[in-house]
Structure 1
Amino acid sequence: MLSRHAWREEAAVGSLMTCLDRSVGRPTPVTDEAPRVLGRTARPFTQWTAEHAGAFRH
């Protein structure tokens, strides 16, 4: 039997997986969120990783 908290976690994971499954093959919509929130254009992920690589090295 699942505890009350484990049930919530399992339900949340199930809901997330359903949402992700429905998004397969659908393009992600382009929004203006990043520039609006940051006050500048977003950087490419490759640039961000290069700038922050040291934080992930031990």
Structure 2
Amino acid sequence: MKARALIECTIDTASPVSELAAAISIVLAALPDEATRLATLEALGDEIDRTLAAQSTEAD
């Protein structure tokens, strides 16, 4: 059996930006070191960039 640390959260879609920012902060606080937090933020930024590009393509 593998031990896992899980975070469960509820996001209020009436204020998505602040809710997502809070969730990201909670996840980052649970990570063990600065390098892991930075890598996570960079990967999240890449995912956001891909999603924005896809949205832009769909809008055209």
What TM-score do the two structures reach when normalised by structure 1? 0.41
* TM-score between the two structures when normalised by the length of structure 2: 0.39
Higher RCO structure (Cα 8 Å, ≥6 apart): 2
